[in-house]
Amino acid sequence: MSKLKKITSLSAFILCFTLLLSGGTCLFARPDYVRENPPIDVPNKTPTVDGYIRADEGWSSYAALNYDTLGYFWHVNPLTTYGNICFTYDTNGFYYAANIVEGLEAVNEITGETIPAGYNEFIYSTGYDDIDVGDDGSGYGWNGDVFCLMLDPLGLMLEYGFNMDPLPCYMVGLFEGDVARMYREEFNVGEITNQVKVKGHKTEKGWTFEACIPWSVIINDIKKASWNEISLNKNEILKSGALIKAAASYHDRFYDTVVDQVATWGHFVTVPTTMADGTAGYMGRGDIVMSCGLTLYMGDRTMSTGFSDVKPSAWYYAAVTSVVKNGYMNGMSDTVFSPHTNITREQFVQILANIAGANTEEYKYVNSGFKDVPTGRWYSGAVAWAVERGYVSGMSATTFGTGHSIQRAALARMLYNYAAKNGIDIEGRGNLSVFADAREFDKEANYWMVEPMLWAVDAGIISGMNMNGKLCANPKGTATRAQAAVMLMKFDDLMK
């Protein structure tokens, strides 16, 4: 056993060191894919919180925590745990329950070693976390096995652009005597057992628990996490079909015979298949808003975009719903949105006109000055209208760039120009130096994009994307229709 752990730890160190040298982040996830849990309808039921999950209490279907659905973060050790989590709610709070099986056999995909069954078993907590405490004092609540839930009611943290920010973490640990306790990390930090309901017990193969977090606690925590920008309305959350994005994580501890004490085995999170910026879920971080891999709907799900290629589980679902409802974008047909198709420059100008409610028919036969924008086409009026108002310019003095996919920086520039001329705040300035490709903005030929990108980053319209393990602004990259929908939903918030 000792030799096994020594090899595993050495492998983790080597891989982490290699990643750091290459400019990557020291985290570990499945190497190629995470299968996201399907959306879950959460029943309006009031179970008895006693630590025993009963089928007749009205719980939702289970979300699985297993090899396919979990991203592996911060430790190289393989998953030796299996779990299920289910949900309900009532007017008082949000209920969830989990059943965890420990000590499964597993294979380390990096070293090829087999971890025997029973090697990593359930660990009771004996106190607050003193194993993984950061420089800022943050940790994982307890010093045994810890189950964490993160919630983004209505998906507003994502919608408001807090993509890379953490969410409040509700951490459940089980103590000797089968006493379950809850700790809150990231915001309003501290033990909250006396504010919630939580019960659990050890089982033959692991442990199980039930918990209820009052809506008042969740609403207050989200307000804190959003720096007072988001004030949730409980009645809106309780509406049938309301969305909650969530993530469940398991901070797995084991008894390390090498050092003769409890240590951390791994951290496993339900990340999405694809994050909001289009990056694969396993490529990101597990502890941020954009990494929420569970999609929950309160009561009976009634929302629908009407598009066969926009599923409720898609990271862009809420954005497409929003922009279509507001009339900013239409489908490519009545049933197809084509979320992964690049959006062209003339298509985006038409969207600007839709946002403004402009009558582009009046401009359909007005010469815009560009040789590649003949009059009388479906986009001619929108381009002529936008040029007249100073919202857009061409790719050259005589060419607009019809048919060209719009660059992310050009999209930001058009929105910036529109905002500036319509009384929308453009004073905010983000930090471009956080992006690995920040030098792009130092080039003289790219000066035109600096101010719009600074503003767009500050407003959360552009949050960066993962490129080869690095966070990049990618200003000259193209934007898909799904990505444009997300950006427009955030821009819409600025206009309110």
pLDDT tens track for 259-279: 899 999 988 898 888 887 777
| pLDDT of 11 | 41
282 and 327 belong to one structural domain: no
- Cα separation, 325 vs 306, whole angstroms: 11
7 and 127 belong to one structural domain: yes
147 and 235 belong to one structural domain: yes
Among 267, 298, 329, where does a domain finish? Answer: 298
| pLDDT of 37 | 87
Confidence of residue 113 (pLDDT cuts 50, 70, 90): confident
Percentage of residues of the chain with pLDDT beyond 70 = 91
| pLDDT of 397 | 93
Q: What is the pLDDT of residues 154-180, one digit of tens each?
A: 999 988 888 888 999 999 999 999 999
Q: Identify whether 175 is part of a domain.
A: yes
| pLDDT of 25 | 36
Q: Identify whether 303 is part of a domain.
A: no
How many structural domains does the chain have? 2
pLDDT top residue among 90 and 446: 90
The CATH number that applies at residue 234 is 2.60.40.1190
246 and 344 belong to one structural domain: no
429 and 465 belong to one structural domain: yes
Phi then psi for residue 219, to 5 deg, are -65, -45
Phi then psi for residue 382, to 5 deg, are -65, -40
Among 243, 267, 298, where does a domain finish? Answer: 298
107 and 69 belong to one structural domain: yes
Among 298, 330, 361, where does a domain finish? Answer: 298
239 and 287 belong to one structural domain: yes
| pLDDT of 300 | 60
Task: Give Cα separations from 128 to 179, 202, 367 (angstroms).
Answer: 14, 19, 70
pLDDT top residue among 212 and 162: 212
Q: Identify whether 443 is part of a domain.
A: yes
Query: What does the pLDDT average to over 443-470?
Result: 87
150 and 260 belong to one structural domain: yes
Confidence of residue 13 (pLDDT cuts 50, 70, 90): very low
Say whether pTM exceeds 0.85: no
351 and 284 belong to one structural domain: no
Confidence of residue 33 (pLDDT cuts 50, 70, 90): low
Q: Identify whether 305 is part of a domain.
A: no
- Cα separation, 358 vs 418, whole angstroms: 13
| pLDDT of 164 | 86
Of 247, 246, 245, 241, give the one whose Cα is nearest residue 297.
Answer: 241
| pLDDT of 318 | 82
Q: Is the pLDDT of residue 15 over 70?
A: no
Q: What is the pLDDT of residues 321-350, one digit of tens each?
A: 889 888 899 989 878 899 999 999 999 999
- Max CA separation in the chain (angstroms): 81
The rounded mean pLDDT for the chain is 87
Are the beta carbons of 355 and 489 closer than 8 angstroms? no
Q: Is the pLDDT of residue 20 over 60?
A: no
Query: What does the pLDDT average to over 414-421?
Result: 96
Are the beta carbons of 148 and 169 closer than 8 angstroms? yes
Q: Identify whether 306 is part of a domain.
A: no
| pLDDT of 24 | 34
86 and 195 belong to one structural domain: yes
373 and 288 belong to one structural domain: no
Query: What does the pLDDT average to over 213-230?
Result: 96
Q: Is the pLDDT of residue 245 over 50?
A: yes
Q: Identify whether 115 is part of a domain.
A: yes
Phi then psi for residue 49, to 5 deg, are -85, 90
pLDDT top residue among 225 and 133: 225
Q: Identify whether 312 is part of a domain.
A: no
88 and 181 belong to one structural domain: yes
Q: Identify whether 310 is part of a domain.
A: no
Q: Say which DSSP state 43 is in.
A: P
Residue ranges making up the domain that contains 378: 317-495
| pLDDT of 32 | 57
